[in-house]
A and B are shown apart, each in its own frame.
Chain A
């Protein structure tokens, strides 16, 4: 490594202008590079991009569908972001999402008919949060008291949750399974009173609940004593200890809150568009995608909302592109390129890349100008 040509160094505090400019430039760069690829494969980039926009935002129904797709991503994005802010690497959003869905569908089925929506809807939302927090606790408690690696435990618990959902529907005659349908194992529909009301095509009020919850998370993390203590502990556990902050309890709290948000997403998805514990409708990597949303939003809990909308739009545009003859593989490549560039742009915000003027100067980095 003695002949390296470029120096990568942390930028320290990036300017607000840079934080806005780089993501936009990244997406434009992605569109240009992907556009070249589209030209090479015989597609018209303009037509493809117009179709993507048209599918996701070009009609009232398209906008409604984009918002439906964005709703769970807002919450799984917030779930990932609040944990990552404290250096708690909860990548178990997928499992916590599903556990939230199990709890939500479970409480709705258990309560059954006879309760009004004013009881049922808060019940399913809260149950979702509890389910997610419970599943997070399975990783959080050993992390805090035994020092286990939460990356491994949360990752593994995702697969356990996926298999558990499949077991409840495919492998057992659980209360979640619809006993009236013999031909194919499927989820039992939850009572109508537990369904979130639709107000604009298929779009239900879950989008507002998600946005309100994201704002609450933002307030909690940014404006309260507890949030301040969490951020201090996230920056340096030593500083936090010195300031008399109980780091283990903060880790536990953040972990459970993170799980609860992923669980809220599961609950809203069950009581919103899906209406049952249906594995095929629920296992869509919404928890994993939340991690990408959080990263693209730079862990900013408010920025997560528009990023989730864009991610929902990107996901929804796939079938529309197929319908104008763009092959599935190209669609996946295009979606992947946009994400890759956006994440790579992150690196440029966090670090600067420059040529060393000379070997001796390189040893004395110039003062930060940002």
Chain B
């Protein structure tokens, strides 16, 4: 009984939807209302003059952090290619299986190049890519690829090391607080590189880690920073998308190493520097490859030498000698003379161990206080 009613209801809704779509088709932006499509679109369906590109972000693009940096990349593509591309940006899309719907909707709406900028999109994007084989999918920070899904990320650890040097020189209590998101290799690499950099300029430094289990939750991340400041830290570092830890440091008269973007404006006195992202040239190359028909699903790992990772401008309190030292190290990294992680490496307990694959790094280096399993 109820099933019949439901069918009736669903049919009714479809009729209403079609009438409404027909009524609205006089409007300017009507590509969205298309007839019921099958799971796979054909390549001939759309004349390939304007490339439709879509970006899907886990947080708000106004976060001035991770998602914002990617959005700047999207804007760069638009600025370079103009009317040849049409860009759709979706923000605050939760990770997990539900995201498959979002990717498939974008593919069905004619987007031919779709970027997902958070780790948790990997499985849903993989499933969507299988259903839309003629759409190019690119996933940031993951490790799975397919015929039409590539992935990309960059060696933030290079910038982390350099920002660690600034932090190591700035601390007077020799305790740096690190507000971290999740105990995963990407974050552990960052903490370890940062600690190695800090201890290069100040061997007595210790880095205390607290986990927030969030990427973007300003109140929680701010509170975590305050707890570290209370514990005696006078420099705060972070692996988060919000500027809240920096604002906590500013309020306490402490120093701050940011992440993702130049966040000086949030805490001008606290600001030291940060490892930041420049996704624009990479996104441009991807868009051009799709336009030229040369796009292939690849794994891209950018770095400071190719410009995907950079060091933010220094804050006023970083003196010129230190700046010179950091920039010298930056040059060595770019030239490939200096490697952030030594091999063998000394772990948290003081034991020497093989560096191993940094993409599955699951330990802390000497000088880190906290648990690498969360």
- Residues of A with Cβ closer than 8 Å to B? 44, 46-47, 49-51, 53-63, 65, 68-69, 166, 170-171, 182-185, 201-202, 208, 211, 214-215, 273-275, 278, 280-282, 284, 302, 305-306, 309, 313, 316, 319-320, 322-325, 328
Contacts and interface: CB of A to CB of B under 8 A. Distances in A.
Contact of B17 (A57, A182, A305, A325): A57
B96 A280 contact: yes
B6 A211 contact: yes
Contacts of A302: 2
Contacts of A214: 2
Contact of A65 (B36, B101, B185, B213): B101
A184 B24 contact: no
Contact of B185 (A182, A211, A273, A319): A182
Contact of A323 (B17, B105, B182): B105
B133 interface: no
Given A46-B23, A46-B24, A183 B16 contact: no
Nearest to A274: B97
A268 B27 CA distance: 41
Contacts of B6: 211, 305-306, 309
B126 to A, nearest CB: 12
B266 interface: no
B96 A54 contact: no
**A-B pairs with lowest CB-CB distance, top 4:** A281-B96, A280-B96, A50-B24, A53-B17
B192 to A, nearest CB: 15
Nearest to B211: A170
Contacts of B32: 51, 54-55, 320, 323-324
Contacts of A171: 373-374
Contact of A57 (B5, B16, B39): B16
A324 B106 CA distance: 11
Contact of B94 (A46, A50, A284, A323): A284
A50 B360 contact: no
Contacts of A305: 2, 6
Contacts of A328: 60, 91-92
Given A53-B16, A53-B17, A323-B109, A44 B27 contact: yes
Given A278-B97, A322-B90, A59 B36 contact: yes
Interface size class of B (residues with CB under 8 A): 35 or more
B335 interface: no
Interface string B1-41: 01101100110011011101101100101001111110100
Contacts of B108: 59, 61
B321 to A, nearest CB: 39
A54 B95 CA distance: 23
A313 B9 CA distance: 13
B98 A58 contact: no
A320 B105 contact: yes
A126 B335 CA distance: 61
A322 B32 CA distance: 12
Contacts of B5: 306
A63 B360 contact: no
A183 B360 contact: yes
B88 interface: yes
Contact of B37 (A46, A59, A319): A59
B301 interface: no
Contact of A184 (B35, B106, B184, B213): B184
Interface string B317-355: 000000000000000000000000000000000000000
Given A58-B21, A61-B37, A215 B2 contact: yes
Nearest to A46: B24
Given A54-B17, A182-B185, 16 more contacts: A46-B23, A47-B27, A50-B33, A51-B32, A54-B33, A57-B14, A58-B14, A58-B33, A65-B101, A170-B183, A171-B373, A202-B100, A278-B97, A281-B95, A305-B2, A309-B6
A50 B94 CA distance: 24
Contact of A201 (B13, B39, B119): B39
A58 B37 contact: no
A287 to B, nearest CB: 15
Nearest to A55: B105
Residue with the highest number of chain A CB atoms closer than 10 Å, among B17, B88, B93, B185: B17
Contacts of A282: 96
30 contacts: A46-B23, A46-B24, A47-B27, A47-B29, A51-B32, A53-B13, A53-B16, A55-B105, A56-B13, A57-B10, A58-B14, A59-B36, A59-B108, A61-B36, A61-B39, A166-B213, A171-B373, A182-B185, A183-B185, A183-B359, A184-B184, A185-B183, A185-B184, A274-B96, A280-B96, A309-B10, A319-B105, A320-B32, A325-B29, A328-B91
Residue with the highest number of chain B CB atoms closer than 10 Å, among A53, A69, A306, A324: A53
A146 to B, nearest CB: 33
B104 interface: yes
B302 interface: no
A10 B226 CA distance: 51
B96 A170 contact: no
Contacts of A50: 17, 20-21, 23-24, 33
Residue with the highest number of chain B CB atoms closer than 10 Å, among A59, A170, A305: A59
A180 to B, nearest CB: 11
Nearest to B109: A323
Contacts of B143: 183
A184 B187 CA distance: 10
A313 B27 CA distance: 23
Contacts of B169: none
B313 interface: no
Residue with the highest number of chain B CB atoms closer than 10 Å, among A49, A62, A63, A306: A62
Interface string B84-123: 0000111111111110111011101100000000011000
Contacts of A316: 101
Nearest to A320: B105
Given A58-B14, A211-B2, A278-B96, A309 B9 contact: yes
B200 interface: no
A274 B37 CA distance: 24
B217 interface: no
Contacts of A51: 32-33
A47 B24 contact: yes
